[in-house]
Each structure stands twice: as structure tokens, then as C-alpha cells.
Homo-oligomer: A and B are copies of this chain.
């Protein structure tokens, strides 16, 4: 049996195994799920052992464990470091899921469940590809180091500490990541740029306690109104961010890059349909792919304060809260942006309130020149796995680890994404196309085999 035949023969077994993995609610951001996160780590470690990997370890951290494994039995062949994460986003709001978040379900060729696209499904594509390579030829064609973390959705802080302390152990010729999306259905893609992410929370306090609005309204600072007025001032009419210096370091795409961008089969109609809003809304003067990949943003992710339950309550609350984040692009500096954002916010707020400004996490943007021969192998492997032409794209999301690894090891980072933009990663009814799941397994197996033939 050749590699492709072998993968075809194991379709049901792979899917069943992935469902086991998805059933573990490894929500890294919620402390109530700490033991579930640990269970997911153990599941990954057991699977790596079953494939036949060496030196499988669960590495404890201050928060959630890392899983490491390696197979270094192909002397003279390239060594790659595979990165992925087994933690997932919170499933809330639960009532908007068609089938429960942690009960994976197939409907119309899609596998639904939290973590299907981001990132358990994509991690499992690699585990299955490795399994297929070992089963088909008795050994792996390359050397591989595997590092799967449990804190991607909370900023990867402990991962980074571990990497800093284990540079020799993790050294490789390339970093491989599957945690991104294809440009669209039927367009296998290699991502060569990512935005960075700074995540903030603010607490605005006016009155010392909640007040009866009838008695006090008209004369006291309302933190809800002040929060609204603050965020209304953070964009101008063209939806440019008003923080002074915010765009100072933003790199412009080269004319060659802009030309390639315009040639991409970017389907604006499909994008609009996925969003499902009455209209789009973005920074004026830029095309849609530019807005999504080349432009930095400042965006609210949550607001709350006052009475939010059923019915009416005539209250002026003491406090108002917001979670918000900046997506950063080359060559913006996360520290510099944080200082500028905090300074601007404190300047805009009236003296009738106080403000607590918390930085949840920071992450640099990343962009790679895709000229290394490994990229060519990946391109061919994608075309073989999917039977379709592959493209090079950027992405709007953030994988802090990629930037950090690139800065530390100065090796190519190859991002092979098998999700799709409309698969609701981070939202209810997250799903993964089974066609892309199986296509991904074939492409990755071919990629590793291709690297072995270099």
C-alpha cells in the first residue's frame, strides 16, 4: 500500500480518534477547566507514544503543561519542529451551538465542535500523517521535534519561557505550524505573514458605589457613558485609529506584493456572506485583503457594566469595563503600542473617573520571505494532497510563537493552514471540512516525505 492508499484505508479510524480528542473541554482561559486541559495534554502524549515517537514528555509549567516528543532516526535528513496547541477557546455563548460544543458531530461533510478548526483538528492532521508514514514505510523520512502547548488562547507565556531555556533541544531547520486557514474552499494555502496581538482590559470607576439613577442622574459621572465616549474617540470617521503614532512603523507592501495580492482568488461575496451583517465596515482607502492582513486595528472584544439582567433597573453603576485588542503589523512594536494606547486613553478620560489599565498579553507581528526550498516542497505537497493549485497568503490572526521562534532560531516558518475563514473558530458552531481534514493528512504526509527526498 502506498501512502495515499494507507490514509484512505484509515479514514474512519482517524476521525473517531479526533472526536475523542475534541470531547475533552480543554478551555485554557477558564480556571474551572484546569483538569480538562491536563487531560488533553495527556491524550496528546499518549497518542505520540502510540505513533512511536521517542522521549515523550509532559512538561509542567506555572499554568498548563507542554507536551514534547521527538524522533531523530533519519541521519542526514532535515529536522523540523512541529508546533500546535491542544487548548481551545471558551464555548460560550452555549445556547447558540446547534450541537453541543464538546460533542463532535458530522453534518453535511463538516465536523462540528470546539477545537475542530482551532487547533485540535489541525494538530491531529499532523499526528495522522506521521502515523501513516510510520505505518506505510516502517519509519519517518525526516527528523522531527514536536511541541504542543496548552496556552495558545491565553498568550503562550510559559511556552516562551520553556523555549528560551531549551534552545539547543528545540533547534531545527524549519518550524511547521498548522493553525491558520486556507484562503477559501479549494484553495490550499501557505501563510507567510501574521498580525501580532496586544490584549487589554480597562476598568473605569465613577461613583464609589452603584447609585439610584432617579436621585442622582443629571449630576454625577456615569462610567458607562464615559466608556462609550472613550471608545468613540479611538477611531476617526475613516476608521483610522486615533492613538498618536499608531501607524508610524507600519510597513507598506512592495509593489510586487500588492500585485500578487490583487491576483489572489479572494472572494469578497463569500466573505460578506460569512459575516452576515447588513454591510462591511473597515478603514477607508484599503482593499479587503489589505484591511485584514496589512493594517493594524484597535477593536472592542467585550463591554459590560450596570444592570444587564432581565427587566429594568434604574441604576448609575460605579464601574464600567471593556476588553479590547490591537492587531499589529510589521514593523509595529508591541511595547511601544501599549504605551501609546494607555497614554492616549488616560488623556481622553475626564477627571471625574479613575481608570485601571491591564495588559493581558502582547505579541509581535511576523512576515517571512518565502524563498527557502522547503516552501517549494510544501507548495507541491499541498497540490498533491488536494489536487488543486496552492497559493501564498497572509493572515489577520496571531500566533505569537511563530514570531518568537523566527526571532530566536532564524529558520523558515512554514504555516500550512487547513481551516476555512467561515468555520467559526472562536464562535459557536466551530467546524472543520472533512475534505480539508483528509486532504491535509495527505498533504502533510507528502510534505514530510518530500523533505526527506531533498
Determine whether A197 belongs to the interface, using a CB cutoff of 8 Å to chain B: yes
Q: Does the CB pair B215–A278 fall under 8 Å?
A: no
Determine whether A315 belongs to the interface, using a CB cutoff of 8 Å to chain B: yes
A291 to B215: give the CA distance in the assembly, Å: 11
Q: Does the CB pair A426–B314 fall under 8 Å?
A: yes
Q: Does the CB pair A220–B281 fall under 8 Å?
A: yes
Q: How many residues of A contact B (CB 8 A)?
A: 101
- Chain B neighbourhood of A303, CB < 8 A: 224, 227-228, 303-306, 308, 320
Task: Give the nearest-CB partner of A232 in chain B.
Answer: B232
Interface stretch among A1-9, A250-258, A390-398?
A390-398
Q: Does the CB pair A277–B206 fall under 8 Å?
A: yes
Q: Does the CB pair A277–B207 fall under 8 Å?
A: yes
Task: Give the nearest-CB partner of A212 in chain B.
Answer: B426
- Chain B neighbourhood of A228, CB < 8 A: 227-232, 300, 303
Determine whether A282 belongs to the interface, using a CB cutoff of 8 Å to chain B: yes
Q: Does the CB pair B306–A302 fall under 8 Å?
A: yes
Number of this chain's copies in the assembly equals 2
Q: Does the CB pair B396–A352 fall under 8 Å?
A: no
Residue A306 contacts which of B219, B300, B307 (CB distance < 8 angstroms)? B300
- Chain B neighbourhood of A197, CB < 8 A: 214, 314
Q: Does the CB pair A323–B327 fall under 8 Å?
A: no
Determine whether A292 belongs to the interface, using a CB cutoff of 8 Å to chain B: yes
Q: Does the CB pair A312–B360 fall under 8 Å?
A: yes
Determine whether A424 belongs to the interface, using a CB cutoff of 8 Å to chain B: yes
Determine whether A210 belongs to the interface, using a CB cutoff of 8 Å to chain B: yes
Determine whether A385 belongs to the interface, using a CB cutoff of 8 Å to chain B: no
A-B contact pairs, 21 of them (CB 8 A): A29-B309, A155-B312, A209-B427, A209-B428, A213-B301, A215-B292, A216-B275, A219-B271, A219-B282, A219-B288, A219-B291, A220-B275, A224-B301, A225-B231, A227-B228, A227-B303, A229-B231, A280-B352, A303-B308, A306-B323, A314-B397
Interface residues of A (CB under 8 A from B): 29-31, 89-90, 92-93, 96, 118, 153-155, 181, 195, 197, 199, 205-222, 224-225, 227-233, 235, 271, 275-283, 288, 291-292, 295, 297, 299-317, 320-321, 323, 325, 327, 350-354, 360-361, 395-398, 421, 424-429
